[in-house]
C-alpha cells in the first residue's frame, strides 16, 4: 500500500510552489506550500512533517541553513533540496547540511515524483515491525494511537514527541532535541516537565496494550521509543 507523506514545500517562486503542491497532493500526500523559512512557525509542529522540499535561494534564512537546523532538531526528517546550484561543491554542501536527495532545476514532475516515492518507500521500510512485535499506529491528524489493546487519545504535544521519536534513528532522541519540540511553551520546556510528559505517555501506551519497556530513559542522554510505529 502506498505511503502518504506529510510534506512541507518551501519555495519562494509562487507558481512553482503551487505546481509542486498540486502535483504531490494529487498523489495522495498532505502538502503545505510556504514562501520562506520564517513561515514554518514553531519547532513543535515540525515533528509531524515527513518530508521537507526546499529551495536553497530563499529570502531570509536560506535553504542550507534551514535544512541544517531542522536536521539537528529532527534527525529522521527527510529533506529534498531543489535548486539551480549545480556545482559539485554546492551538492556536497547540500548533502552535508542534511539533504537526502539533491535535485538541480529545472526538475521534471516525473523526477520529483520518483524522488518522493523513493523516500516514501524508505519510510515504509523503516516502520516495518520486528518479528512478533505489535505495531503502534499513530494517527497524527486524529490525535490518536492504536495498539493491540485498543485506541488511546493523545494531546498535540504527545503526538509531536511520539512522531519525532518514531522517525529518529533507533527511535532515540537526546533531551535537548525533545525540549526543542516543547519550546512552544517556554515556561514548561524543562527536563523535569519532559519526564512528567513521558510518564503519562508510558501509561497511555500501556493502556494501548504494550508491555515492558515502552519509553526508556537513556541515562545522561535522552529517551528511546521501543515499539515499532506506523504513522498514518
Domain boundary assignment for the chain: 6-126, 136-231
- By the 8 A CB rule, do 75 and 169 touch? yes
The three-state (H, E, C) secondary structure of the chain, written as one string: CCCCCEEEEECCCHHHHHHHHHHHHHCCCEEEEECCHHHHCCHHHHHHCCEEEEECCCCCCCHHHHHHHHHHHCCCCEEEEEECCCCHHHHHHHHHCCCCEEEECCCCHHHHHHHHHHHHHHHHHHCCCCCCCCCEEEECCCCEEEECCEEEECCHHHHHHHHHHHHCHHHEEEHHHHHHHHHHCHHHCCHHHHHHHHHHHHHHHHHCCCCCCCEEEECCCEEEECCCEEEC
The whole-number pLDDT of residue 68 equals 87
What the block records as the C-alpha cell of 52 is: 521537507
| CA dist., res. 33 & res. 21, Å (int) | 6
Instruction: Give the CATH number of domain 136-231; options: 1.10.10.10, 1.20.1440.230, 3.90.45.10, 1.10.287.3510.
Output: 1.10.10.10
User: Does position 140 have pLDDT exceeding 60, yes or no?
Assistant: yes
**How confident is the model over 116-122, as a mean pLDDT?**
83
The whole-number pLDDT of residue 18 equals 94
**How confident is the model over 39-46, as a mean pLDDT?**
63
The whole-number pLDDT of residue 2 equals 53
Distance of CA 29 to the CA centre of its chain: 14
The whole-number pLDDT of residue 130 equals 42
pTM: predicted TM-score of the whole model, two decimal places:
0.62
The mean pLDDT of the chain is: 83
Read off the pLDDT of residues 155-191 as tens digits, 9 standing for 90 and up.
888 888 888 888 887 888 888 888 877 765 544 567 8
> Looking at per-residue confidence, does 226 or 133 come out higher?
226
Contacts of 210 (CB under 8 A, 6+ apart): 134, 136, 147, 148, 149, 227
> Looking at per-residue confidence, does 76 or 104 come out higher?
104
Q: How many CB atoms lie within 10 A of CB 14?
A: 10
| CA dist., res. 144 & res. 130, Å (int) | 22
The whole-number pLDDT of residue 46 equals 61
**How confident is the model over 63-91, as a mean pLDDT?**
86
Q: How many CB atoms lie within 10 A of CB 27?
A: 14
**How confident is the model over 37-52, as a mean pLDDT?**
72
pLDDT-derived band at 47 (thresholds 50, 70, 90) equals: low
Task: Tell me the C-alpha to C-alpha distance, in Å, between residue 61 and each of 49, 76, 101, 201.
Answer: 19, 21, 20, 35
> Looking at per-residue confidence, does 193 or 2 come out higher?
193
What the block records as the C-alpha cell of 33 is: 506550500
The whole-number pLDDT of residue 61 equals 92
Query: Whose grid coordinates read 485498543?
Result: 150
Can you identify the CATH homologous superfamily of domain 6-126? Answer: Response regulator (3.40.50.2300)
User: Does position 13 have pLDDT exceeding 90, yes or no?
Assistant: yes
Amino acid at each position: 500500500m502506498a505511503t502518504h507523506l506529510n510534506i512541507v514545500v518551501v519555495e519562494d517562486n509562487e507558481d512553482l510552489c503551487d505546481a509542486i503542491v498540486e502535483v504531490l497532493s494529487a498523489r495522495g500526500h498532505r502538502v503545505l506550500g510556504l514562501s520562506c523559512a520564517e513561515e514554518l512557525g514553531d519547532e513543535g509542529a515540525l515533528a509531524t512533517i515527513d518530508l521537507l522540499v526546499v529551495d536553497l535561494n530563499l529570502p531570509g534564512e536560506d535553504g542550507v541553513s534551514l535544512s541544517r537546523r531542522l536536521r539537528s532538531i529532527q534527525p529522521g526528517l527527510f529533506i529534498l533540496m531543489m535548486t539551480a546550484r549545480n556545482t559539485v561543491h554546492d551538492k556536497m554542501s547540500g548533502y552535508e547540511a542534511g539533504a537526502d536527495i539533491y535535485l538541480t532545476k529545472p526538475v521534471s514532475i516525473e523526477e520529483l515524483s520518483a524522488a518522493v516515492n523513493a523516500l516514501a518507500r524508505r519510510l515504509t521500510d523503516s516502520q516495518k515491525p520486528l518479528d512478533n512485535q505489535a505495531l503502534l499506529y499513530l494517527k497524527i491528524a486524529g490525535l490518536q494511537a492504536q495498539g493491540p489493546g485498543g485506541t488511546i487519545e493523545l494531546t498535540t504535544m504527545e503526538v509531536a514527541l511520539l512522531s519525532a521519536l518514531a522517525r529518529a534513528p533507533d527511535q532515540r532522541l537526546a533531551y535537548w532535541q525533545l525540549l526543542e519540540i516543547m519550546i512552544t511553551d517556554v515556561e514548561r520546556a524543562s527536563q523535569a516537565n519532559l519526564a512528567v510528559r513521558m510518564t503519562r505517555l508510558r501509561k497511555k501506551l500501556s493502556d494501548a496494550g504494550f508491555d515492558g519497556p515502552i519509553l526508556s530513559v537513556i541515562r545522561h542522554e535522552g529517551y528511546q521509543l521501543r515499539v515499532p510505529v506506523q504513522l498514518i
